[in-house]
Structure 1
Amino acid sequence: MQALKGIKVLDFSTLLPGPMATLLLAEAGAEVLKIERPGSGDEMRGYTPKFGSDSVNFSLLNRGKKSIAIDLKSEEERARLDLLLRDADVLVEQFRPGVMHRLGLDYETLARINPRLIYCSITGYGQTGPLAQVAAHDLNYLAETGMLGLSRGADGAPVLPPALIADIGGGAYPAVMNILLALQNRTHTGQGCHLDISMADNLFPFMYWGLGNGWSEGQWPSPGAELVTGSTPRYQIYRTSDGRYLAAAPLEDKFWHTFLELINIRQDALSKDDAEAIRQVAAVIAQQPARYWLEKFKDRDVCTVLVADLKEAVQHPHFIERGLFQEILKDGEGRSIPALPVPICALFRQSVPAASPVLGESNKLLVEGQKS
């Protein structure tokens, strides 16, 4: 029995944050109806590369869902949703504040016809505040919350992150957490609620250590000057002689002493100045290829690994043995790829990933809903 079996979700979101959130709900057994524009649907359908008729991004994020294509700006079309809205457990949307109100689909309106509805709004800056209506993307949220400013390259310029941290860590994951909490709360109260998920707000917990230092001692963090931003040789990225890199994090003394022993640097010979100590360690690591160091560190607790590229990562024996990529998605042309691994324990997930939906394939539910 999947944990969310019987839960009905209406997903008005597009692109990444909302679809990722509803993917996790679908994986745990919820029935997710994706509400899309007629003709084009979710913008992500048109991305490249393709996997079948839609983009591979869309296919990975929207497996196991159903699609309803409907023009929300048409009152007649909009009315066809009423019975689904009355029966839904969860609604997810990520328009700017006010858009759903103009469509007659705001929480206050829907709560009158479905007081048990859990209504989750995912936005960049939340439903209120001076930035609520500002257009922005992941990079902007990272910049305005101070996270980007703590990640700088050798030239001092902020480095573009390869992960959409705000969309996923600040949007999708908090949305799922709060939806699950709201479902549990509803079992006690019988009432739904409006969840205000701000991607920018939810980035601050990632920097808890910097906030603590700043608030308690006035020691606000600087790029390259803190434990996890590059100030110490115990938490560094070192280049090897063959142009590869090692991620070294032997923070605790027991790991650090073993690390120094294996690279043949005596503790008493290491500079007390952190910047000089980093240069000393870097000079030693740079004398040998990555393979040499990996063999040297093998079966020893030094918290040091190769910086892998993504292709190497998915081929790592550990992740293969864990079955992380064993679930398969198929397109309509006979091709198959691994399904996106999700942070839902196998105990709660569907056993076979369903394909992503064809645009409007479940419009019959609107007709059936009217007849019922």
Structure 2
Amino acid sequence: MSNSLLQGVRVLDLTRLLPGPHATQLLAQLGAEVIKIEDPDGGDYARSLSPALFEQVNRGKASITLDLRDAADVEAFKGLVADADVVIESFRPGVMERLGCGYDTLAAINPKLVYTALTGYGQTGPLRDAAGHDLNYLSLSGVLDQNGTAGGPPGISNVQIADLAGGALTCAVGVLSAVIGARASGQGSFVDSAMLDGSLALQSVAMATRADLGQTQPRGADILTGALPNYRVYKCRDGRYLAVGALEPKFFARLLAKLNPLPPNKARGSSQTPKPKSAEKRPSSSARKTSGWADKVSDALSDPRRARVLTKPVHWGLAALFRSRPRDAWVALLDGADACTTPVLTLEEALAHEQTRARGMQQGDALGCPLQFDGSARDALAPSPALGADNERLLNRR
């Protein structure tokens, strides 16, 4: 295990696929004992659907096989519950009750038990029994409508926002809070964690816009989705991209001071011989347009009433400028400017980046715990378990 913060906390994990296993692996990284309980007939679907994904989110766990449709296996499960701190499941509402393993039944066995149900839509409401995946929770929560470029369709991300941020991480916070409460009071609780709810709760900025303007803005038109030229992604000469996050005026002023004025031949990325001094006295069209930015534009953009007037021309000017050089040339130029600019990296580039290496986030073919405590190094978890690998140790079964 990665550390001992949760040493002595036993988690019975009935979840499958991505959100639940991601949440329980984080608990394992924090020191909890996580026992993955799987159906004897194939186990977690991810084992066959995507063995690589299974490995990413099931490291550091034990695995036992129980068929909760079998009375003897239900009794074996209840025996484990007696000594457990947490049960976490991701079935549709009512499934565990039909199996004879609902919260009331298990709480009667272990009053301190934290029972966590991680579902798409929660235990109440008209959609409680509906099927869904990350894309569905994002679409119904309004998150998907916020993603993508202006005038284009909603953007689909390969990072599962609802599953992981709205689901797994929110769920883990709920589990830990309930465990602390149970240890203080002696009474466990039922944690109802819905990925739709968790996704809605992520929309602080969109909700602020709604409060300010009376409604949300279209894709690409809110302050963090492309409306501001100082918070955008710009295409560079080589087809790669630079992220400009200079949201505060001080950062944008630093960026503009670094960019303006660029010598005309350098702004075009040209290797032509310098022009005669008489020609250089007359600034190029692009230089004339950008002159004075460092003194005026930054402060103007901090005023919402003036920002809407200045947004498009400033964006056009920056877009044309960034297209004049390759991405890494801009990275080199802006190095040390402290202006919140970064290259848009592929995952491979991100893993190789010096900051990632310094933090020790990559552990072989997997990612480490995103938290550090007392500056200690992250320990790698053991590989994911084989199906039923711990039957003999935990169930006295071969």
| TM-score normalised by length of structure 2 | 0.84
**2:8 pairs with 1:6:** yes
The aligned residue for residue 356 of structure 1 is: 384
SS of match in other structure, 1:87: coil
The aligned residue for residue 341 of structure 1 is: 368
Cα distance in structure 2, aligned partners of 1:35 and 1:61:
15
**TM superposition shift of 1:365:** 4.3
Counterparts of residues 1-372 of structure 1 (less than 5 Å): 2-48=4-50, 55-153=51-149, 155-215=151-211, 217-264=213-260, 265-267=290-292, 272-325=309-362, 327=363, 337-346=364-373, 351-365=379-393, 367-368=395-396
Name which of structure 1's ranges 205-214 and 137-146 shifts more when overlaid on structure 2: 205-214
Cα distance in structure 1, aligned partners of 2:149 and 2:216:
19
- In 1, are the aligned partners of 2:236 and 2:242 still within 8 Å (CA)? yes
Question: Residue type matched to 1:343 in 2?
Answer: P
**TM superposition shift of 1:338:** 3.6
SS of match in other structure, 1:80: helix
Equivalent pairs, count: 353
- After superposition, the Cα gap between the structure-2 partners of 1:350 and 1:30, relative to the gap in structure 1 and judged at 3 Å, is farther
SS of match in other structure, 1:273: helix
- In 2, are the aligned partners of 1:97 and 1:132 still within 8 Å (CA)? yes
Question: Residue type matched to 2:138 in 1?
Answer: L
**TM superposition shift of 1:24:** 1.2
Question: Residue type matched to 1:364 in 2?
Answer: E
SS of match in other structure, 1:111: helix
**TM superposition shift of 1:273:** 3.1
**TM superposition shift of 1:181:** 1.0
SS of match in other structure, 2:81: helix
Question: Residue type matched to 1:22 in 2?
Answer: T
- After superposition, the Cα gap between the structure-2 partners of 1:267 and 1:102, relative to the gap in structure 1 and judged at 3 Å, is farther
- In 2, are the aligned partners of 1:61 and 1:340 still within 8 Å (CA)? no
**TM superposition shift of 1:231:** 0.7
Cα distance in structure 2, aligned partners of 1:2 and 1:219:
47
- In 2, are the aligned partners of 1:66 and 1:357 still within 8 Å (CA)? yes
**TM superposition shift of 1:113:** 1.2
Question: Residue type matched to 1:344 in 2?
Answer: L
**TM superposition shift of 1:178:** 1.2
**TM superposition shift of 1:117:** 0.5
**TM superposition shift of 1:350:** 7.3
**TM superposition shift of 1:155:** 4.4
**TM superposition shift of 1:30:** 1.4
The aligned residue for residue 334 of structure 1 is: none
Question: Residue type matched to 2:366 in 1?
Answer: A
- In 1, are the aligned partners of 2:9 and 2:32 still within 8 Å (CA)? yes
- In 1, are the aligned partners of 2:360 and 2:368 still within 8 Å (CA)? no
- In 2, are the aligned partners of 1:258 and 1:301 still within 8 Å (CA)? yes
Cα distance in structure 2, aligned partners of 1:233 and 1:193:
48
Question: Residue type matched to 1:339 in 2?
Answer: A
- In 2, are the aligned partners of 1:24 and 1:344 still within 8 Å (CA)? no
Deviations 1:319-357 (A, max 9, x none): 1122222x4xxxxxxxxx343222232558873421211
- After superposition, the Cα gap between the structure-2 partners of 1:24 and 1:144, relative to the gap in structure 1 and judged at 3 Å, is same
SS of match in other structure, 2:242: strand
Cα distance in structure 2, aligned partners of 1:198 and 1:249:
31
Question: Residue type matched to 2:384 in 1?
Answer: S
Question: Residue type matched to 2:226 in 1?
Answer: G
Stretches of structure 2 that go unaligned for 5 or more consecutive residues are 261-289, 298-306
SS of match in other structure, 2:22: helix
Name which of structure 1's ranges 168-177 and 148-157 shifts more when overlaid on structure 2: 148-157
- In 2, are the aligned partners of 1:28 and 1:349 still within 8 Å (CA)? no
Cα distance in structure 1, aligned partners of 2:205 and 2:388:
47
Largest Rg, 1 or 2: 2
**TM superposition shift of 1:221:** 2.7
Identity of aligned residues (%): 39
Deviations 1:107-159 (A, max 9, x none): 01111111111001000111101111111100111111111101123542111
Question: Residue type matched to 1:128 in 2?
Answer: T
Question: Residue type matched to 1:345 in 2?
Answer: Q
Deviations 1:142-200 (A, max 9, x none): 11111110112354211111210111101111111111111111122101100000111
- In 2, are the aligned partners of 1:81 and 1:366 still within 8 Å (CA)? no
Name which of structure 1's ranges 74-83 and 92-101 shifts more when overlaid on structure 2: 74-83
Name which of structure 1's ranges 86-95 and 218-227 shifts more when overlaid on structure 2: 218-227
Question: Residue type matched to 1:235 in 2?
Answer: Y
Cα distance in structure 2, aligned partners of 1:309 and 1:342:
20
Deviations 1:247-294 (A, max 9, x none): 011112222122123222224597943122211110111111112211
